[in-house]
Structures are given as C-alpha cells and as structure tokens.
Structure 1
Amino acid sequence: MSTNFRVGLQKVVDHSYDIEIGEGLFGALIEDLKHGIVENVSKFAIVTDSKVEALYGQALLEQLHQNDFQAELFSFPAGEKSKTRETKAQLEDRLLSRSYGRDCCILAIGGGAVTDLAGFLAGTFGRGVPSLNYATTLLAAADASIGGKTGVNTPVATNLIGVFHQPKKVYIDLATWKTLPVRELRSGLAETIKHACIADADFFEFLEQNMERVVSSDGELVLDREVCERIAFHNCEIKYSVVEKDELESNLRQILNLGHTAGRALEALSGYELLHGEAIAIGLAVQVQLAEQLGYVTADQTQRVIALLKKAGLPTEIPATITNRMLIDKMYTDKKVRKGRIRFVFQAGIGAMKSFEGGAYSTPVEEQVLSELLNKIRS
C-alpha cells in the first residue's frame, strides 16, 4: 500500500527586462542600481575577462565605489578557451573566499564568453542570484547577452552545460565597439547576418547596402552611428521575437541555431582559433548551400548570403586542416541531435525559416547527403 502526496508548484514568473542601447552607459547603470533595479543586494561582483578588465572593468569598479556601492572585480583569461567548468569553479571559489553569498549581484561586462560564463555563474551561485549584462562587443550585443542562455564549453562540445538565467537588464554600449579589433567586430557581424537570414529580408538588404559604413573593405572600422544603432536594435528585435515565443528552446528557438550545426563543430575543431562568428559564417555558408541542394533557397539567394558574409570580411570556406570526416563526427555532438541523427535548421529564402512535419524547425540530414555536399563544396 502506498500514499501519494502532490507537490503543487504552479506559478507565473515574469522574466521581462529592458535593453538599453547607447554610448557611455555606466551612468545609466549606476542610476538603475540607485533606483533598485536589483533588490536586497549588498555586494556586487564585476565579472569580466583580462582584456575588458583594463578597458572598462576597472573604470566601472571605480564608479561603483565612488557611488558607495560595495563591489569587487573578478576576471579570467580572455578567450573562448577559458569558458569552462574549471573557470566557473575558480570564480565560485573566489567569490566564496570573499564572503559573497545570496545577497550579491553579478555584473557581467564584456563579450559573449563573459556573459555566457557570468550568467551561468549567476544562475547557480547561491541557487541563483541576479545579474546585469553590459555588452562591449557586437557579438554579445547580437547574441550572447540576450535571451538568458548561459553555459560553458567542454572538450566534447560547446555550450552543452549551462542554464537558462535571464538578466535584470542589458546595456549595449556602442562606444565600446570603437575599441574592438576589426576581427572581433566582423565576428559579431556573422550573428547579425544570421538574424537577417532568419527573419528580415529588408534588414538583409540594408546590410548589403551599408556594410561599408560599419567596416570598410580594407579592414578599417567606420562604425557609422546610425547604422550601428539600427544593427543593435534589429538584432534585439529579431532575437526577442523568437525568445518571447520559446524561452526554453523547445522548438521555435532552434532557428537561432542557423549555421550553428557546422559552425559550432568548426569552432571546437579549430581549437577556438576560429572566432565564434568566423565559425558561424562558415556554418551559414554550409547551411545555405545544403538548403539550395534541398530546394529551400534559390542559387541566387545562396550567392547573396555568401557574398554578404564575404563583404563583412568573414570566411566562408572550411579550413583545409579540418577533414569532412572530422567535421561530420563533431556535428554528432550538436545539441539538436536526436536518436543519433544530425539535425539542421534551414532558411526558406531570405528572411524566413523552413518548418517541417508537425511544425518542427529542425530536420535530420543523412550523413551521406552531408558528405556529398561537403565534397562538392571543397571541389
């Protein structure tokens, strides 16, 4: 004989937050803290990397101290290679050694690796503490700082370990883009192009016409204010329209993985020598050529996507050091894999996504089909 006791925990949680886009937003952040954007917090932990620490981290720490906030700075070596469980554990130990507890708030300032790692840290430290994201790269503004997906990499695959943890607010500081190496800026443009492919044909055309107002063909940062603001706003708008409908990536949110099945595999196989956006750019090129082969896009649309990636100064060809066999094997570690089958999301033309049976947005692609395409691409 047994007895059943039901634990009823139904509740409605509001995870809404604002994204502020502008230049020099430390003042806005300080004012938000003074007005209680995070409640019951007595200590702040600035989490950043070794590059951003010198550029912006120390300056933010000083401003917090000048405004009587108790804060300390915690940094880790810059780069995707540092986005690991080991780095997260080291940060946790340092926080604990400085008597940080459940009354703290994590201030993540930096690019995608910082916001991914700091968000994961915030989601688990003390079983969850509030966090704020201050994005200093186009890549973070376009992707990592929005939507609440956090995580770390492992030797097997990227971002397979993490949690969903929404920030209380995101600050996108366009002025920080001026200090980016051109390669980093271009890396962020890959996710921007991805968003246009997913949901906005007009935005795609805008990028075709205005890419030289962001970065010139000879690699000089131009960063026209009007164009940068539009890019930042449309990145937020497109990603929000997806995340709003599928916060926990049960189906629709998979479309944000356009180009990531091959891209994430290439990023890991390169030992992170390829920047995230560079790997995703190649992944987008692979995806669109496969989509053309399957009849989802036209040859002209394929060429437009590849031409725009090249115009942004991004790679579109698989590195010679990575064989087709290596790439296919690594794609089996992708988080969309189900029942041992590699799955892709595909664009349907430019500005829309292909849906499949039952309303699914990802579909299995047989290894032989992939192998034939990769051989064709390389030839």
Structure 2
Amino acid sequence: MSRSFEVVLKKVVDHSYAIEIGEKLFPSLIRDLQQGLVPGVSKFAVITDSSVEPLYGRPLVELLRRHNFAAELFAFPAGEKSKTRETKALLEDQLLSHSYGRDCCIIAVGGGAVTDLAGFLAGTFGRGVPSLNYATTLLAAADASVGGKTGVNTPVATNLIGVFHQPRKVYIDLAAWRTLPVRELRSGLAETIKHACLADAGFFCYLEENIGRVVSPDGELILDPEICEEIALRNCRIKYGVVQQDEHESNLRQILNLGHTAGRALEAVSGYELLHGEAIAVGLVIQARLGVKLGYMTCDEADRVTALLQQAGLPTEIPASITNRRLVDKMYTDKKVRSGQIRFVFQEGIGAMKRFADGSYSVPVEEETIVALLEELRG
C-alpha cells in the first residue's frame, strides 16, 4: 500500500522590467538604486570583460562606492571563447571568496557575452539573485540584453547550457557605441536586420534607407543619434513582442532563431573567429536562399536581404576554409533539432515568419536539401 501527497505550487510571477535607452546612463542607474530598484541588496558585483573594464567597469564601481554602495569589480577575458562553464565557475569562486551571498545583485556591463554569462551566474548563484544589464554594444542592445535567455558555450555547441533569468532593468547606453570597433558595430547590425526580416517590413525599408547613417560603406562609424535611438527602440519592441508571448521558447520564440541554425554552427566551426553577427549574417543568407527553394519567399526578397547585409558591411558567403560537411554536422547540435532532424525557421517574405500546418514555426529540412543549397551558394 502506498500513500501520496500533492505539492501545489501554482503562482503568478511578474517578470516585468524597464528598458532605458539614452546616452551616459550611469546617473540613472545610481538614481534607480537609491530609489529601491533592488531592495534588500547589501553588495553589488559588477561583472564585465577585459575590453569594457577600463571604459565602463571601473568607472561604475567607483561611482557606486562614491554613493555609498558596496561594490566590487569582476572581469574575464573578452570574447565568445571565454563564455564557458569554466569562466562562470571562476567568477562564482571569486564572488564566494569575497563573501558574496544571496543579498547581492549582479550588474552585467558589456556586450552579449557579458550579459549572457553574468545573467546565467545571477540565475544560479544563491539559487538566483537580482541582476541589471548595462548594454554597451549594439549586439547586446539588439539581442542579448532583452528576453532573459542566458547561457554559456560548450565544445559541442553554443548556448546549450543556461537558464531563463530576467533582469530587473536594462540600460542601453548609445554613447558606448562610439567606443566600438567597426566590426563589432556591424555584428550588432546583423541581429537588427534579423529582427526586421522576421517582424517588420517597414523597419526593413527604414534600414535600407538609413543604414549608411550608422556605418559608411568604407567602414567609418557615423552613428547618427536619431537613427541609433530608433534602431535600439525598434529592436527592443520587436524582441519584446515575441518574448511577451513565449517567454520560455515553447514555440513562437523560435522565430528569434532566424539565421541561427546555420549561423551558430558557422560561429562554432570557425573557432569563434567569426563574430556572432558575422556568422548570423551568412546564416540569414542561407535561410533566405533555402526559403526560395522551398517556396517561402521570392528570389527578389532574398536578394534584398543579401543586399542589406552587404550594405552593412557584413559577410554573406561561407568562408572557403569551412567545408559543407563540417557545417552540416555542426547544425545537428542546434537546440531546435528533434529526432535527429535539422530544423529551420523561415521568413515568409520580408517582415513575417512562416507558420507551418502543425502550428510550429520550425520545420525539419532534409540534409540532402541543405547540402545541395550550400554547394549552389559556393557556385
């Protein structure tokens, strides 16, 4: 004879938070903390990388201390290669050795690798502590700082280990974009173009008309303030519109993976020599051309996607050093793979996504079809 007991844990959780877009937002962050944005916190851990540390990490810690907040700086080597379980464990050990506990708050200052790693750390340290994101790159503004997906890379695949952990607030500092190398800025434009492709035809046209006011064809950073603010705002609105409906990626949120089936594989196979946005740009071209073959968009629409990526100074061809076999093999580690089948999400024209008969936004594509397309692209 056995007996059972029902554990009822139904609850409504409010994960709402604000996103502030502007220039030089440290005073705003300090004001928010003074007004109780994260109550019950006695120590702040500012987590950043080696590139951002002198520009924004150290100055923020000094400012926090000047306003009588207990704060320390923790930095790791810049780059996607450092976004690993090992780096996370090192940071956790450093926090513990400095007597950080459940009454701390993590402030992630930097680009996507920083917000991904620091957010994952915040989601698990002390079984979860509050965090803030201070985004200093266009890539973080477009993608990593919004939506609560955090994680690290492994030798097998990118971002397969992580948690959903929403920040208490996100600050997008447009002034920081002026400190970016042009290659990093362009990398962020790839995720921006992706958002336009999947949700907003009007925004796609806006980018076609104005991307030259962000970066010139010869690589000069122009960064027209009005255009940059509009890009940051549209990115946030598009991603919010998806995340609001599907916070934990059960179906709709897969559309944010546009270009990522091939793009993430390319990024990993290149040994992260390709920046995230550069790999996603090539992934967007692969999905668009595959979409033409499968009847989801026209050749002219795919040409427009390729042309806009090129206008932004992004690569649109698979590097000759990466074989089709290696690329396809790595696609099998994509998190959308089910029952050993590679799955893609596809544009339906420009500004909308294809939804399939079973209600899903992703669909299996035969390996032979993918290989044939890759061979065709190499010409």
SS at match of 2:91: helix
Report the Cα offset of residue 200 of structure 1: 0.3
Give the secondary structure class of the aligned counterpart of 1:244: helix
User: Identity, % of aligned pairs?
Assistant: 75
Q: Report the counterpart of residue 367 of structure 1 in structure 2.
A: 367
SS at match of 1:88: helix
Matches within 5 A, 1:1-379: 1-379=1-379
Provide Cα deviations, 1:115-146, integer angstroms capped at 9, x if missing partner: 00000000000000000000000000000000
C-alpha deviation, 1:11, in angstroms: 0.1
Cα deviation, residue 150, structure 1: 0.1
- 1:80 is displaced (CA, Å) by 0.2
Counterpart CA distance in 2 for 1:22 and 1:355 is: 36
Taking the aligned partners of 1:175 and 1:132, their CA distance within structure 2 comes to: 18
Question: Partner letter of residue 121 of structure 1?
Answer: L
Q: CA deviation at 1:358?
A: 1.8
How many Å apart are 1:202 and its aligned residue? 0.4
- The offset of 1:284, in angstroms, is 0.2
- Per the TM alignment, residue 85 of structure 1 is displaced from its structure 2 partner at its CA by 0.1
What amino acid does structure 1 have at the position aligned with 2:178?
A: K
Which structure 1 segments of 5+ residues have no match?
none
Once the two structures are superposed, what CA deviation does each residue of 1:55-105 show, in whole Å capped at 9, x if it has no partner? 111110110011000000000000000000000000000000000000000
Q: One-letter code of the match for 1:239? A: K
Unaligned ranges ≥5, structure 2: none
Task: Give the whole-Å Cα distance in 1 for the aligned partners of 2:31 and 2:271.
Answer: 41
d(CA) in 2 for partners of 1:47, 1:150: 14
Q: What secondary structure sits across from 1:4 in the alignment?
A: coil
- Secondary structure of 1:207's counterpart equals helix
Provide the C-alpha distance between the structure 2 equivalents of 1:374 and 1:335, rounded to a whole number of angstroms.
Answer: 21
Work out the CA distance in 1 between the residues paired with 2:360 and 2:39.
Answer: 40
Shift of 1:192: 0.1
CA offset at residue 39 of structure 1?
Answer: 1.2
Measure how far apart 1:357 and its partner are.
1.9
Q: Which amino acid aligns with 2:274?
A: L
Q: In structure 2, what is the Cα distance between the partners aligned to 1:328 and 1:179?
A: 36
The amino acid across from 2:126 in the alignment is G
Q: How many residues align?
A: 379
Question: Secondary structure at 2:51's aligned position in 1?
Answer: helix
Letter of the 1:100 counterpart = Y
Between the aligned partners of 1:200 and 1:322, the Cα distance in structure 2 is 32
Once residues 147 and 357 of structure 1 are traced to their aligned partners in structure 2, the CA distance between those partners, rounded to angstroms, is: 27
* Distance in 2 (alpha carbons) for counterparts of 1:101 and 1:162: 20
Cα distance, 1:166 vs structure 2: 0.1
Distance 1:142 1:373 in 2: 29
Q: State the alpha-carbon separation in 1 of the partners of residues 180 and 324 from structure 2.
A: 33
CA distance in 1, matches of 2:219, 2:32: 37
3-state SS of 1:132 partner:
strand
2:101 is paired with a residue whose SS is: coil
Q: What's the C-alpha RMSD, in Å, of the aligned pairs?
A: 0.3
Structure 1 segments of 4 or more deviating over 2 A? none
The DSSP-based 3-state class of the residue aligned with 2:230 is helix
Structure 2 Cα separation of the partners of residues 376 and 318 of structure 1: 11
Q: Deviations over 1:219-262 (max 9, x none)?
A: 00000011001000000000000000000000000000000000
Equivalent-residue separation in structure 1 for 2:187 and 2:373 (angstroms): 25
Aligned-residue offset at 1:206: 0.3
For 1:169 and 1:13, how far apart are their aligned partners in 2? Answer: 16
